[in-house]
A and B are shown apart, each in its own frame.
Chain A
Amino acid sequence: MVPEAALVIGALFVLTLDLAFGRRRSLESRLYLAVITGTAAVVAAMYGAFSSGLAGSVFGGALILDELTMATRLGVLVLAWITLTLAGSTARLRHPAEFVAIVLFATAGFTLMAAAQQLLVAFVALELASLSLYILAGFDKSKPESAEAALKYFLFGGMSAAFLLFGFSLIYGLTGSIELHEISAHLAGHPPTPLLSVALVMVLVAFGFKAAAAPFHLWAPDVYEGAPVSSAALIASASKLAGLTLFVRLLWPGFGPGAGNVSTAAGAPGWLAIVACLSAASLLLGNLAALAQSNLRRLLAYSAIAHAGVMLLGVIAAGDAGNGPLFYYVFTYGIATVGAFGVIAVIERTSPCQRITDLAGLYRRSPLLTGCLAIYILSLAGIPPLAGFFGKFTVFAAALNLGGVAGPAGWLAILAIFLSAVALYYYLVILKQALVVAPTAVTSSDPVTNPITVPADAAIVLVFAALILVVLGLFPSFVLRIF
């Protein structure tokens, strides 16, 4: 519990500090103070996560400290740190301390999700994170879109929380336990009942929502578009990583016996079939809908949906291949997405950045941003030697290893490979604007042609994120070796 404690204490400290000293200062210095304090809390949490080691089940089985927990916690913290730093140098918030504190609360929720091994803890952790994210989504009170995003996110999230709770209660009722291994043992010993199926469906619906998988994706484009950039970045990255970890833990160690089989054409009924359907729907809908987008953030949202499809494939494969491929994929995806949002945030300091065409001429305005953006986007597109490529490669390899192309898992992998060629189109559309098209200014004073100055701290984290993508792409064993 050290990381969670560090984060919560850090959050409280940020608030206190701001209350005590920040009232008379400028917004900017208050933001800096908050971010520095927040960063310290994140670093402390990292240390905590690292030092707590691989202790196995703790707190009477409520939490588990294994490789996945450790990796997820560190990953989430890195992503949160990048988000925080970016917020520090780019956001113009009216309540900086509150923003940082809520980010820290959300992160605490994420780290808890990473370790939860009990239905109740899982639910509480999820809600802690979710509630924080609802607030973050609506943090920009001056923009109606932000409010809309928050409302949508909240409504969908609330609904899914209800589903999840319902599912959990059914499972508790059926198995008499909220401990995952006991549930697993019970399921293995008893034939599946219709009620259990209902419960599993409920859980998967909530999962679909969290992962922004089709057809539960409807909130994503609006939230990505309307929320403040840093919030969107957090929702798109750390939240996803924590969510995936939580659910993959629920599904395999918890409901593993009910998984069924999608490795062969005949297969066996189980929740894997539903996950496979969600995956296929996300892949198709995400990639195809992304083709039609003209808004950069909505494009990223649909690309996120498409990526969710691959992540679900990773979940399918995780039963056999372990959590390594899935974690690698989600983490590197998170880095690339945070980076992309970071670039948007930096651009927005100078000129609006909503439509894809707003990126026009970026290569002249800021070579650094252009280079970083190119790396993030190419990583998302899955171009070697960037991490996004190997993520896809290892997930597809794991999926195909389930049974070749004999069953839905293999078919999904093939489908995903082909759709990645489609995806390259819309990613290239982004890069075309940034790298090829010259900026078109109506007047000479139009900000869209001005050079963009990148704050030093933002530059550092952006380059850092890009480096992670390159290094992990070249040497994926750094991550895979953990599992």
Chain B
Amino acid sequence: MNALPLTIYVSFAGALLALAAGTRSHAAARWIALVSALTSFALTLLAASSFAPSPGLQTIIDLPWIAELGIRYHLAADGISLTLLVLTGLAATVGVLFSWNIEHRVGEFFALYLTLIGGVFGVFLSADAFTMFVFYEIAIVPKYFLIANWGSPVTREHAAMKLVLYSFAGSALVLAGLLWANAAAVAHGSVSSFSLNDLAAAATHFSRGEQIGLFALVFTGFAVLAGMFPFHTWAPTGHVAAPTAASMLLAGVVMKLGAYGCLRVAMPLFPVGLAFWQPTIAALAIIGIFYAGFIALVQDDFKFVIGYSSVSHMGFVLLGLAAANATAVAGAVLQMFSHGVIAGLLFAVVGRMVYERTHTRQLADLRQLPLHRLLPFAALTFVLAGLASMGMPGFSGFPAELTILIGVWKTSPVWALFAGGGILVAAAFTLRAIQVSFFGSIPLSRVVASGSELTHAGSLHHYESITLAEKVGTALLLAATVYIGLKPDVLLDWIIPALQSPFMQAALKGGSL
């Protein structure tokens, strides 16, 4: 537990080392990144193994930082943050494995990559809004360079700019909200402080109007990063343009930053605002689920399918948050973890295994290739990941969706019914992607009938085989999703006590309809 802050420092130190080493040896930079990511992952697992679930944040470090404004360097963790820390460690490690083949500016790539990771770790560990915001912004900026430098050539600059501006606009909303909250707290007689606990305590004296306005600012700000409709448009383009590891991190972890912020900051601080906006958020979440799902259903670009599916799945997370009861929120956190792992898998298959071998992401082109024959491992992985993504029981998506549905039903049966429809849409587009991308090959009869197609297909057999790094990464993610799918208790036992703390209860109580 006490070693958790090391994840932040290890990542940043790894970033500097990778940058320095990258100028001389690409291999050194890679190994530094891997060691750094693995160390963080190991630290999170270590903390998890000795973690005693208890309500409330367990403080790890609490130092005065900027005394003039009452800002403290306050790191703490509870079951929710621990869940996401483990996810981050896992995603970071796997992301390095799937970036093993990067040859262009390797040192810089991993430096930015690890900076991003360090920022993410920091956000999940922060118990002070200022500290959290600092880490949050640290995580935003590297995304631009990761995408703009190593992304897919045509769209990367536009996509990177769009993504970062959206993120930054979101964080501007958050900043405005936090500063306003602090000012309001001071006006109501509190001492200037950005500690989440203090802000929450002060916020109980806020007027209804202040609560509503503050919640709108902070929640929207974070929800932009969580991909809430209609602020989601950065996500598909960004995911598509990003290099594989960045897509994995973006969809896997960075979108969770937004959801985490909503849960950790916006909801507990401004429960009155939450109660006011609850139906709106739920409506937007449901619209997001369906809208993104339908778009994913008709995409021609494989990666866009996955990109939109992320938005659709994050809709479930937001819906769970909007329901604002312990069950739904626990489900939402579980879904964050689950989607983090599954989205990582999907992007790994599409971006690394398929695209970097076939050099096309167009479903129409992939359809012509007997991919399940040429890349059976990729096909198997994608089928499993797709099933997990559809919410197939046995994978982590299922207990998450089930828990969300249970919780949402408690708040509003109508939302739950819509969510059920959303599951159907998710199944439809995932199945279509599986079908068209990997198994859309020309039927056997036609291959035999026409010699030219046969030679065409035969000539494709020389794809580079799936590397060991890819296999290890895939195995890690698959193991995680199956393990949590069969034993969601592991995470729920952390998450549910965390939701019993007075701090989180404020949100959950205020949120009941």
Contact = CB atoms under 8 A, between A and B. Distances in A.
Contact of B183 (A390, A401, A436): A401
A323 B510 CA distance: 41
A165 interface: no
Interface stretch (A106-114, A213-221, A268-276, A415-423): A415-423
B213 interface: yes
A363 B33 CA distance: 21
A367 B108 CA distance: 11
Most buried by B among A410, A424, A431, A477: A424
Contacts of B137: 383-384, 389
B180 A404 contact: yes
B182 A397 contact: yes
A397 B68 CA distance: 11
B212 interface: no
Contacts, number: 100
A425 B161 contact: yes
Nearest to B68: A480
A413 B179 contact: yes
A394 interface: yes
Given A383-B137, A384-B134, A421 B66 contact: no
Nearest to B69: A397
A432 B157 contact: yes
A425 B67 CA distance: 32
Contact of A384 (B133, B186, B192): B133
Interface stretch (B164-172, B303-311, B372-380): B164-172
A421 B176 contact: no
Interface in B56-71: 65-69
B165 A404 contact: no
A435 B179 contact: no
B152 interface: no
Interface string A379-411: 000011100011001101100111111000010
Contacts of A424: 164-165, 168
Sorting the interface of chain A by its residue count into under 10, 10 to 19, 20 to 34 or 35 or more gives: 35 or more
Interface string B195-229: 00000000000000010010000000000000000
A428 B144 contact: yes
Most buried by A among B66, B144, B210: B66
A190 interface: no
B186 A405 contact: no
Nearest to A480: B68
Tell me the dominant secondary structure on chain A's binding face: helix
Contact of B172 (A378, A385, A417): A417
Contacts of A410: 180, 183
Given A397-B183, A477-B66, A477-B68, A418 B176 contact: yes
Contacts of A389: 134, 137
Interface residues of B, number: 40
A390 B108 CA distance: 26
Interface string A350-363: 00000000000001
Contacts of B149: 435-436
Contacts of B169: 418, 421
Contacts of B148: 432, 435-436
A309 B213 CA distance: 25
Given A397-B179, A413-B179, A428-B164, A436 B145 contact: yes
Contacts of B173: 418
A414 B177 CA distance: 9
Nearest to A394: B69
Contacts of B426: none
A402 B180 CA distance: 11
A354 B184 CA distance: 46
Contact of A396 (B141, B179, B184): B179
B468 to A, nearest CB: 31
Contact of B180 (A400, A435, A477): A400
Contacts of A403: 183, 187
Contacts of B157: 432, 436
Most buried by A among B69, B108, B133, B138: B69
Contacts of A432: 148, 157, 161
B175 interface: yes
Nearest to B23: A367
Given A400-B180, A410-B183, A425-B165, 6 more contacts: A363-B105, A384-B134, A421-B172, A424-B165, A424-B168, A435-B148
Interface of A: 324, 363, 367, 378, 383-385, 389-390, 393-394, 396-397, 400-405, 410, 413-414, 417-418, 420-421, 424-425, 428, 431-432, 435-436, 476-477, 480-481
Interface of B: 23, 65-69, 105, 108, 130, 133-134, 137-138, 140-141, 144-145, 148-149, 157, 161, 164-165, 168-169, 171-173, 175-176, 179-180, 182-184, 186-187, 192, 210, 213
13 contacts: A383-B140, A383-B141, A384-B133, A393-B175, A397-B192, A400-B182, A404-B184, A410-B180, A410-B183, A413-B176, A425-B161, A428-B164, A476-B66
